[in-house]
Structure 1
Amino acid sequence: MKIFKTILFVLLAVCQTALFAQVKVGDTFSAWSEGYLDIHHINSGRGESLFAILPDGTTLMIDAGEIAPSPRTTEPRPDESRSAGEWIARYLQQMMRPLPEKKIDYLLLTHFHADHMGDVKLARERSKKGDYLLSGITEVGDRIPFRKIVDRNWPHYNWPHQLTGDQNMQNYIRFVKWQVTNGAVAEQFEVGSDRQFTLLYRAEQYPGFEIRNIAANGWVWTGVGDNRHNLFPPMDLIDHDELPGENQCSAAIRISYGKFDYFHGGDIVNAGATGSWRDIETPAGWVTGPVEVCKANHHASHDAMGEPFLKAVRPRVIVMQPWSASHPDHRVLQRMMDQSVYPGERDIFSTNLMEATKTVLGRGTESMKSRQGHVVIRVQPGGDYFTVFILDDSAESYAIKSIHGPYECR
């Protein structure tokens, strides 16, 4: 019986591969299917958000930001008739159609900035469930059940200094407390662990799948077992104004599926010289190693995607999620494209680019594979190949704008 099930699964995978090969530009993006890994970089124009359906149907969301519009920020997508949190929730509900339950198994909040978690000043209403306002993550969680919430400093929110004085943090803490009271689990991100985010339904069918926690709060995985080491000096030796910021404390993970590897580091930065405790990005890259896809750190700002990091991870595909006129920095874009930094082909995709940014970057943007739209990575069963789909973000039809690949995993 076991052999029969294995043969059936292989035949099913072959049929699915043939089916997806027929997808073309203009079609509605096809639903996730068993064995595939889908990673959605959602473009709301108001910050970062990622949603993944893992090979057995386990779901993962990373961040759901919402910032105020301004002349220096990208336009809301699809439009401003709904909040970013509501648009993100509707996107998730659409993509979860093939799943038996419409829920988010894991929420990972990489750090406590509004473009990743939401801003209460933008809240259009208060939750009817608990004592919190709806913006970003809290609005998504109000519309779709969460099973586990993981962030960098639960439950005390006091490191490297007291965080509870901020209105956004107060609102988020009330939200997490309500979630825990009503059945969800909350945990602090465990650097080095490969057990905090696991397949929940048919893990035995996918032994080549792993999510490894790489870095957070100055701690970085050593690459051996669950061991980690601390890069930060004791906080009592640092002046308050010099304490590490939220970006330096960002949680970073590597998703692996067979030969496929993906890095997501939130807003992790190289804010100091290589070897300095302020440079978290470089040691995180060293221990991560080569990946097929890398979500650009800190929106490809001036203090991220440094040369040592790029040499370490050598991504075939880089996905940027800009929301400001300063994203990406022109020197960072040049560095990501530079063949002398690391050899080989690489494709760069962006969910957004402001017209002012395009003017500053000039011809540098012409080599990008995409400059507008949701960017979806679809990994074939087993992890040997992946394809990049760009989806129309101007409506909820999710029509395919372009298809790139398939790329062979290394």
Structure 2
Amino acid sequence: MKRAVSLRLCRPSLLSITSLAIALMFGCTLLPHSAAAQSTRPGNIDLTLYAIDVEGGQATLIVAPSGGSMLVDTGWGGNNGRDAGRIMEAMKDAGITKIDKVLITHFHTDHVGGVPNLVERVKVGEFLDHGVNREDSDITRKDYAAYIKAIGNTPRRTLHPGDLIDIPGLNTTTITADGEHIKSVAGIKPAPNPYCANEPKWELDTTENPRSTGILIRFGLFSFLDLGDLTKAKEVPLVCPNNPLGHVSLYLVDHHGMNLSNSRALVDAIHPRVAIMDNGAHKAGSPEAWQTVHDSPGLLDLWMLHTAEGSDAAHNSAYPLIANLKGDSDGHYIKVVAVGDGSFSVTNARTGQTKKYPRE
């Protein structure tokens, strides 16, 4: 059984008979509501990360101990600015009022569509992306044009594999961009990948997905990998025949958990301790991808932003690990607080429960 030593923080207001049973199962320690709601970054010594629910798109907020911040993608546009509002809720919890950098992994509407709404409400210091749109589709051309118009005179930088992103207190390396990938990462020795031998050859699609800009963030002994919507045809060359990424503490499941991504050669090689799937209720979260991540060596938990309503119970995580249950569209996020010694905690905003993962 995959388990981690843990301490749970539960608000008494949540403790109905049902939730009390869940709390006892999780081994919860009871705290007053105000204590549970307080920032878990005393003295600004921790890294905080939010997997924000944008209904099957991506918006991931990273806040360094220094207060420096980066938002990876912005979710969808429209919906009365719903996704920008959810990003601002996470910003409020993190104690920030502006975003230093916004990284757009690629130019699909569920990643870049929210930029116009965001810049109307939030000051952004710099935009980062892989360059120009590479997809021959009207909707992607439209979203790319809207992005360029929305950022206006805000500084913009094109990233290439190996480029560093300056966020004080963090080591942030560009792993993939515009269809290319890094060969090695400073401080990590590439190692032969035994999982390559059984990996099929995958056909390269012509969308923006394989152009995704991916990053590896290191904070002491803690590491976080986000490769956007990178597909299998680009995942495999990244880690085969040698894996330049090493093992990671936290993995944002590629492509919202679609089976076009999350090859075993990648997922098993990076050996994540914990994974977060930013799926929607009716988007992605495929049984095949869920099973691949769930079965990866050493994985302790697979968290999900939504119940995947198109999958059976066997291919959804336990309810305490899901931020938004079936039919629940309240926009609950998953919050990660990491310490430089490699330990970290994950909080489900729906339940207020926190699970701690000790350093290895």
CA distance in 2, matches of 1:370, 1:278: 26
CA distance in 1, matches of 2:52, 2:251: 15
Question: Which residue number in structure 1 is paired with residue 341 of structure 2?
Answer: 383
Quick check: which has more Rg, 1 or 2?
1
Q: What is the root-mean-square deviation in Å for CA atoms of aligned residues?
A: 3.0
SS of equivalent to 1:172? helix
Q: Which amino acid aligns with 2:335?
A: V
CA distance in 1, matches of 2:241, 2:303: 22
Spell out, residue by residue over 1:91-113, the C-alpha distance to the aligned partner (whole angstroms, 9 max, x if none).
Answer: 144124x44xx210111000000
CA distance in 2, matches of 1:306, 1:314: 13
Contact 1:281 1:304 (C-alpha < 8 Å) held by counterparts: no
Contact 2:272 2:299 (C-alpha < 8 Å) held by counterparts: no
Q: Structure 2 unaligned runs (5+)? A: 1-6, 15-32, 188-203, 325-331
Equivalent residue pairs, number: 307
Displacement of 1:45: 1.9
Displacement of 1:266: 0.6
CA distance in 2, matches of 1:243, 1:384: 36
CA distance in 1, matches of 2:253, 2:91: 26
CA distance in 2, matches of 1:192, 1:295: 20
Moved more, 21-30 or 49-58: 21-30
Question: Which residue number in structure 1 is paired with residue 84 of structure 2?
Answer: 86
1:142 paired with 2:116, answer: no
CA distance in 1, matches of 2:254, 2:240: 14
Displacement of 1:197: 2.7
CA distance in 2, matches of 1:280, 1:142: 39
Question: Which residue number in structure 2 is paired with residue 36 of structure 1?
Answer: 46
Question: Which residue number in structure 2 is paired with residue 198 of structure 1?
Answer: 167
Cα pair distance change 1:366/1:219, threshold 3 Å: closer
Cα pair distance change 1:243/1:270, threshold 3 Å: closer
Seq. identity, %: 19
Cα pair distance change 1:224/1:95, threshold 3 Å: closer
Cα pair distance change 1:140/1:32, threshold 3 Å: farther
Cα pair distance change 1:62/1:149, threshold 3 Å: same
CA distance in 1, matches of 2:182, 2:273: 23
SS of equivalent to 2:334? strand
Contact 1:138 1:172 (C-alpha < 8 Å) held by counterparts: yes
Cα pair distance change 1:284/1:66, threshold 3 Å: farther
Spell out, residue by residue over 1:124-174, the C-alpha distance to the aligned partner (whole angstroms, 9 max, x if none).
Answer: xxxxxxxxxxxx122112211110110110xxx254779998221111111
Please, which of 93, 111, 114 is the counterpart of residue 116 of structure 1?
Answer: 111
CA distance in 2, matches of 1:165, 1:332: 25
1:251 paired with 2:213, answer: yes
SS of equivalent to 2:312? helix
CA distance in 2, matches of 1:317, 1:285: 22
Question: Which residue number in structure 1 is paired with residue 253 of structure 2?
Answer: 296
Contact 1:163 1:169 (C-alpha < 8 Å) held by counterparts: no
Spell out, residue by residue over 1:173-211, the C-alpha distance to the aligned partner (whole angstroms, 9 max, x if none).
Answer: 1112x2x2xxx32100131022x2331xxxxxx5xx311
SS of equivalent to 1:304? coil
